[in-house]
Amino acid sequence: MTDFSISEDLLQAENAARKMALDEDYAALTRALSRRGIDGDALTRSIMAFGVAIPTWGVGTGGTRFARFPGPGEPRHLFDKLEDCATIHHLVRATPTVSPHFPWDATSDYAALREVAAKHGLAFDAVNSNTFQDQPNQEHSYKFGSLSHVESAVRAQAIAHNIDCIAIGRRLGSKALTVWIADGSNFAGQSNMALALDRYLDSMREICAALPADWRVFLEHKLYEPAFYASVISDWGTSFAAAQELGPKAQCLVDLGHHAPNVNIEQIVARLVRFGKLGGFHFNDSKYGDDDLDTGSVEPFRLFLVFNELIDARMRGADGFAPAYMLDQSHNVTDPIESLMQSAIELQRAYAQALIVDRSALAEAQAANDALGAHLELKGAYTTDVSPILAMARLRAGGAIAPIETYRASGYRKHKAKERPPVARTSAGIV
**Which parts of this chain interact with Mn ion (CB under 5 A)?**
255, 282, 328
Return the SS3 of 141: coil
**Between 74 and 255, CB nearer to ligand LRH:** 255
Rounded Cα gap, residues 35 and 55, in angstroms: 39
With CB cut-offs between 5 and 8 Å by kind, which of Mn ion, ligand LRH, none does residue 128 bind?
Answer: ligand LRH
Rounded Cα gap, residues 378 and 30, in angstroms: 19
Q: What single string gives the DSSP state of each residue in 182-249?
A: --EESSTTSS-HHHHHHHHHHHHHHHHHTS-TT-EEEEE--SSSS-SSEETT-SHHHHHHHHHHH-TT
The answer for 104, left when phi > 0, alpha when psi is -120 to 50, beta otherwise, is: alpha
Smallest separation, CB 282 to Mn ion (Å) = 4
CA of residue 211 relative to chain centroid, distance: 22
With CB cut-offs between 5 and 8 Å by kind, which of ligand LRH, Mn ion, none does residue 290 bind?
Answer: ligand LRH
Smallest separation, CB 334 to ligand LRH (Å) = 18
**Between 259 and 413, CB nearer to ligand LRH:** 259
Rounded Cα gap, residues 387 and 393, in angstroms: 10
Rounded Cα gap, residues 281 and 26, in angstroms: 30
**222 near ligand LRH (CB under 6 A):** yes
Whether 233 and 221 have beta carbons less than 8 Å apart is answered as yes
CA of residue 284 relative to chain centroid, distance: 7
Please state at what angle helix 152-172 crosses helix 193-209, rounded to 10 degrees: 40
Q: Which of 84, 220, 266, 309 binds ligand LRH (CB under 6 A)?
A: 220
Smallest separation, CB 257 to Mn ion (Å) = 7
Instruction: Please report, as residue ranges, which positions from 289 to 328 form the binding site for ligand LRH (by CB under 6 A).
Output: 290, 328
Q: Which of 26, 50, 102, 180 binds ligand LRH (CB under 6 A)?
A: 180
**Between 206 and 225, CB nearer to Mn ion:** 225
Q: What single string gives the DSSP state of each residue in 38-102?
A: --HHHHHHHHHT---EEEGGGSS--B-SS-B---TT---SHHHHHHHHHHHHHHHS---EEE-BT
**Between 328 and 377, CB nearer to Mn ion:** 328
Name which of 28, 26, 46, 24 is nearest 353 in CA terms. Answer: 46
Rounded Cα gap, residues 302 and 40, in angstroms: 24
**283 near ligand LRH (CB under 6 A):** no
**161 near ligand LRH (CB under 6 A):** no
With CB cut-offs between 5 and 8 Å by kind, which of ligand LRH, Mn ion, none does residue 57 bind?
Answer: ligand LRH
Please state at what angle helix 8-35 crosses helix 403-410, rounded to 10 degrees: 170
Q: Which of 14, 74, 80, 255 binds ligand LRH (CB under 6 A)?
A: 255
Return the SS3 of 20: helix
Instruction: Please report, as residue ranges, which positions from 34 to 73 form the binding site for ligand LRH (by CB under 6 A).
Output: 57
Residue with the closest Cβ to ligand LRH?
180
**Between 54 and 389, CB nearer to ligand LRH:** 54
Rounded Cα gap, residues 138 and 142, in angstroms: 10
**407 near ligand LRH (CB under 6 A):** no
Smallest separation, CB 57 to ligand LRH (Å) = 6
**Between 56 and 410, CB nearer to ligand LRH:** 56
**14 near ligand LRH (CB under 6 A):** no
Number of residues that bind ligand LRH (CB under 6 A): 9
**128 near ligand LRH (CB under 6 A):** yes
Smallest separation, CB 224 to ligand LRH (Å) = 10
Residues in touch with ligand LRH (CB under 6 A): 57, 128, 180, 220, 222, 255, 282, 290, 328
